[in-house]
Structure formats: C-alpha cells, structure tokens
Amino acid sequence: MSHLLSNHRLRPLEPRDLDSLYRIKNDPEVTKWLGGFSTGYAMADLAEWLESHRGRRDEVLWAIAQTDSDVCVGHVGLYSIDQRVRVADFGILLSPTVWGKGLGTECSRFAVEYGFDALNLNRIQLRVLTTNQRAIRLYHSLGFRDEGCLREAQFRSGQYLDVLLMGLLRSEYGVDHAV
C-alpha cells in the first residue's frame, strides 16, 4: 500500500531503506529527541529491527520516501494495535533534512486518520520527551491531549528527562480538525 503526500509518499519499509534509516537513527540531532534509545544502532541490529517490524500483525508502519528518488527520510506508524480495546501507539521519525516543512504534520495526520477510519480505533496514544517541544506542538495541533507525566523516565546527556503521555480519542478528533 502506498499513499501520496506532497513531494513524498508513504510505502512499506523495505531492506533498501536500511542505509537511510541507519543515518537517521544514528544522527545525534535525531536521537536527542527520541525516547527508548540513545546509543544508536549497529547496521545488523537495524536490519533485525526492520525485519521484525515488517512481519508484525499488530503494527502498520510506513516508510516516508521522497517522490522523485524514493529515498527514505523516515517512518511513521501505529504500533501495539489492540483490536480488542481499539487502541494503538503512534510514532514518527524524520530526518532533519525535512524538518520544519510540514511533512511531520502531514504524515501524522494521515496515520491518525488511518487509525480511526481504516482500523476503527477508538484511541491513539503516544509518549514524547517533555524537551521535544516541536513534537508536542504538532501533537497538540492534531488534538492530542496531555494525560500524564512519567517523571525522570529517560536518561539523555547525563540527565534524567520526563516523558509526557498524550492521547487522542476518536470522539475528539474532527471536533476542531479536518478529518
């Protein structure tokens, strides 16, 4: 499945994306904003990560690729999809080369709408470092609400950082946002 965006498209992640993902996931400018890991990836670990995610039934994960070159500049997806309670976790990763151009908003909006419309989810949730104000503004613009804070839940550059829990319900999405 592929979906066209302005100058980019969403498509399945492929082994050909490994070099691009390796650069992005090991870029210190990227990793300082991400929860979960901080030491980067070895190529073999990243290949294993890619293969494990490509085969999962509880995820929908897309590569974000440039339309003209098909070079991967990140990924976006819904993880830990639980159809029983109709909930999923959201995540996005973008190369700094495309930051500040609206691509994150466009991809995030698509994934949220896909979750509510195609997967019939009731809730989409995420975790974000409280220091990642750009991402928090994006999530607020989509209607995500702050739901709690995990105090000192991540360690970066010699200090503990708080993690903000955010959630968006189907009934809230579309109230002030175009669906």
Q: What is the pLDDT of residues 138-163, one digit of tens each?
A: 999 999 999 999 999 998 888 899 99
Give the number of domains in the chain. 1
* Three-state secondary structure of 73-134: EEEEEEEEEECCCCEEEEEEEECHHHCCCCHHHHHHHHHHHHHHHCCCCCEEEEEEECCCHH
In a domain, 177, yes or no: no
In a domain, 174, yes or no: no
Query: What is residue 13's predicted lDDT score, i.e. its pLDDT?
Result: 94
Sign of CA dihedral 31, 34, 38, 43: negative
Round to whole Å and give the CA distance between 32 and 128. Answer: 11
178 pLDDT more than 50? no
Angle between helices 43-54 and 18-25 (to 10 degrees): 110
Instruction: Categorize the per-residue pLDDT at 122 as very low, low, confident or very high, splitting at 50, 70 and 90.
Output: very high
Domain span at residue 40 reads 3-169
In a domain, 147, yes or no: yes
134 pLDDT more than 90? yes
Query: What is residue 33's predicted lDDT score, i.e. its pLDDT?
Result: 82
Round to whole Å and give the CA distance between 10 and 97. Answer: 17
175 pLDDT more than 60? no
- Residue 152 corresponds to which tokens in the numbers above? 């000192």
Which CATH number characterizes residue 40's domain? 3.40.630.30
In a domain, 175, yes or no: no
179 pLDDT more than 60? no
| 97 vs 3, more confident | 97
Q: Per-residue pLDDT averaged across 28-57, rounded?
A: 82
75 pLDDT more than 50? yes
The closest alpha carbon to 144, from 91, 94, 103, belongs to: 91
